[in-house]
Amino acid sequence: MSLSGAVIPPSDGDHSTAEDPGRSLLVTEPLTLESGVVLPAYRIGYQTYGALNADKSNAILVCHALTGDQYAANTHPITGKPGWWTSLVGAGKVVDTDRYFVICSNVLGGCLGTSGPKEINPETGEIWGLDFPVITIGDMVAAQRRLIDHLGIGQLFCVIGGSVGGMQVLQWAKAYPERVFAAVPLATAAKHSAQNIAFHEVGRQAIMADPDWCHGDYIKQGKRPERGLAVARMAAHITYLSEPALHRKFGRNLQDRPRFTYGFEADFQVESYLRHQGISFVERFDANSYLYITRAADYFDLAAEFDGVLAEAFRETRTRFCVISFTSDWLYPTAESRVIVKALNAVAADVSFVEIETDSGHDAFLLEEPELFRTLGGFLDGCAKHRGLRWR
């Protein structure tokens, strides 16, 4: 293996990892991106939970979604909040860290320790900004593969992720089928729809319309396009919820006031909630990263290289799939999951498909959904049996 990676602490001045050094891999083997651009070296920030067994057969790779990060199951270094998938990943939980070795890495283009637009371009010594090459889901997964190589893991027991993380799961299964024993794409799609792209474009335009964005050069100019990024998050956040969930949570309730103010303050609770979502998001996320990662999702179309025949992406696959969708998810609706299932059926792949009844919308995969947990637990147990995994 030509990989010459080493676990080294992140560079000084990386404020995002100052509180928790986390773990970081510097890959010096160049990566040829799908765009043709070559990334000579790059860093991957990651976290692991649990212990790798002797034959390295119990590794689960968790792929994070659009604005997630590697802190799936431990305290986030910036927000101080519990990891984003603490409900699912941990000792005695469905993805049981007493049994499995769980890996979660920050995606390429991200902003929490993995190379991305806010990091230093080693060739120039300057912040990348928009000089960072545009990356794809395929590039993200190719970079993750170097991390898995580095950890000495041949075949992952399972790759699991929701939304943009689910796209990475599908990409893993397509690009490295022999390295994925089981795959769980949650609330996702095999390609980004026009509607998906449209919503992302709204977010990007909001960021780029902020004068503090400075054509992507805001870090050097000592500014942050907080308003633009917050608006992008607010618009996106609506797509993660469902109308019934919004109604259930907020209805038309007013925010700490008995009547309308007849102005443009946040009169309604839902406005206040969205503003809060926007403000708290800008604390932990980089605006340019948001542009790059949304772009990667937009470019995603697993069937494109097979003349649109998705089944070809999975031909000869021996991976066991568990596709899960949620009834009220209108961002990646069940129909998109069915497309994946149909393609897998067309090659007689081993696939389970469950649509879970919930009014929580797209975000359901991040929430405590008992049916999701039971399904996933059963699937993992079944796969563990087939894989011959044993525990004390």
Q: Which residues make up the interface to other proteins (CB under 8 A)?
A: 87, 92-94, 96, 320, 322-323, 341-343, 345-348, 350-357, 368, 370-371, 373-375, 377-379, 381-383, 385
Closer residue to other proteins in complex, CB, 197/354: 354
Minimum CB distance to other proteins, residue 385 (Å): 6
Question: C-alpha dihedral over 244, 246, 247, 248, to 10 degrees?
Answer: 80
Closer by beta carbon to other proteins, 34 or else 359: 359
Question: Are the C-beta atoms of 246 and 330 separated by less than 8 Å?
Answer: no
Report whether 10 contacts 22 (CB < 8 A).
yes
Nearest-angstrom CA–CA distance, 243 and 346: 35
Beta carbon of residue 379, minimum distance to other proteins (angstroms, whole number): 6
CB nearer to other proteins: pick between 237 and 315: 315
Q: Cβ of residue 284: shortest distance to other proteins, in angstroms?
A: 25
Q: In angstroms, rounded to a whole number, what is the distance separating the alpha carbons of residues 281 and 17?
A: 17
CA distances from 366 to 64, 150, 161, 228, 320 (A): 10, 29, 10, 25, 22
**Cβ proximity to other proteins, 122 vs 378, nearer residue:** 378
Convert 256-274 to b/e letters by CB count within 10 Å (16 or more is b). Answer: eeeeeeeeeebbbbbbbbb
Q: How far is the CB of 92 from other proteins (least distance, A)?
A: 5
Contact by Cβ (8 Å): 71, 111: no
CB 162 to other proteins: min, Å: 17
Q: Which is nearer to other proteins, 130 or 348 (CB)?
A: 348
H-state helical runs in the chain: 137-150, 164-175, 194-209, 226-240, 243-249, 269-284, 287-299, 334-346, 370-387
Unique residue bearing structure tokens 């990676």: 5
* C-alpha–C-alpha distance, residues 300 and 191, integer Å: 5
CB of 102 to other proteins, least distance (A): 16
- CB nearer other proteins, residue 85 or residue 273: 85
Contact 289, 110 (CB under 8 A): yes
Which parts of 151-193 fold into alpha helices (H)?
A: 164-175
> Treating both helix axes as pointing N-terminal to C-terminal, what angle do 287-299 and 226-240 enclose, rounded to 10 degrees?
40
- Looking at the Cβ atoms of 305 and 368, the one nearer to other proteins is 368
CB 360 within 8 A of CB 326: yes
Q: Which residues are catalytic, by number?
A: 163, 329, 362
Measure the CA–CA gap between 148 and 140, rounded to whole angstroms.
13
Shortest distance in whole angstroms from residue 57 CB to other proteins: 18
